[in-house]
Amino acid sequence: DAGVTQSPTHLIKTRGQQVTLRCSPKSGHDTVSWYQQALGQGPQFIFQYYEEEERQRGNFPDRFSGHQFPNYSSELNVNALLLGDSALYLCASRFGTSGTDTQYFGPGTRLTVL
Amino acid sequence: AQSVSQHNHHVILSEAASLELGCNYSYGGTVNLFWYVQYPGQHLQLLLKYFSGDPLVKGIKGFEAEFIKSKFSFNLRKPSVQWSDTAEYFCAVNHRLYNQGGKLIFGQGTELSVKP
């Protein structure tokens, strides 16, 4: 049973470019959340997708957008990249939207913006 | 504002020493509490979680945590650490309301180094 998978593993972009990160949830999971983890910090919640809609959003600008597909996989898009967007981007999946459901995290995508 | 505070940024212990990592939260409403661990080169994994009932919860690998509602705390403990416990530990909280549980708020993490 595969866990949460993310691609790519690493990515280098320059300021002003756009990036798309991908996530496949753990088998049986239908809800995907995205987090940004800056170096030396805890993860920060970006948004959550359920039933192909954004259900919750953290304090991130509109440059951050996402999508969920019918197979529950998800994409995170970041436009007009800034140096401060350099971070580890984590995807987490679970079944349903109850707060008691454990979120399972993927290995992350390391984004470097030059 | 909702926040989670972990008291120690870096803790260094010798093997067999006892461990206690502090976590305090500021969050309106009823919450669920979690401790996650990130071993070197690995992804975040759940150590334990508290939703309701007995405030002393046991997790994997001999870890336990106690929820003290009056102190808004959820401290992680282990009686005797091993070198393999070297990792970064994150305390997290979310809201118990249905459909509001996606947003986990994490503390800044505590790096634990265990000397053999």
Q: How many structural domains compose chain B? A: 1
Range B93-103 average pLDDT: 75
Distance from CA of A67 to the nearest CA of B (A): 16
Mean predicted confidence (pLDDT) in B68-92:
96
Q: Order the strands of the A64-68 sheet from edge to edge.
A: A5-7, A19-24, A74-78, A64-68
d(CA A106, CA A109): 9
Which CATH number goes with the domain that contains B23? 2.60.40.10
**Could you please report the per-residue DSSP string of A34-54?**
EEEE-TTS--EEEEEEETTEE
Whether A103 is in a domain gets the answer: no
Residue A113 lies in a domain: no
| Number of compact structural domains in chain A | 1
User: At a CB cut-off of 8 Å and minimum separation 6, what does A93 contact?
Assistant: A4, A23, A25, A26, A29, A31, A32, A33, A72, A103, A104, A106
Tell me, yes or no, whether A114 lies in a domain. Answer: no
The count of other CB atoms within 10 Å of the CB of residue A114 is 10
- Is A6 near chain B, with CB under 8 Å? no
Whether A107 maps to a domain, the answer reads no
**Contacting residues of A for B90, CB less than 8 Å apart:** 42-43
Q: What is the pLDDT of residues A42-55, one digit of tens each?
A: 999 999 999 999 99
- Say what the pLDDT of residue B98 is: 59
The candidate with the shortest Cα–Cα distance to B6, out of B99, B98, B102, B112, is B112
More confident residue, A15 or B96: A15
B12-52: pLDDT as tens digits = 999 999 999 999 999 877 889 999 999 998 999 999 999 88
Chains A, B: CB contacts within 8 A come to 75
CATH number of the domain residue A36 falls in: 2.60.40.10
Look at residues B98, B55, B53, B76 and name the one whose alpha carbon lies nearest to residue B4. Answer: B76
Q: Residue A110 falls within a domain, yes or no?
A: no
Residue A52 in domain? yes
What sign results for the dihedral spanned by CA atoms B97, A97, B41, B17? positive
Residue A50: domain span: 5-97
Question: Distance between CA atoms of B25 and B31, rounded to whole angstroms?
Answer: 10
Q: What average pLDDT score do residues A76-80 get? A: 98
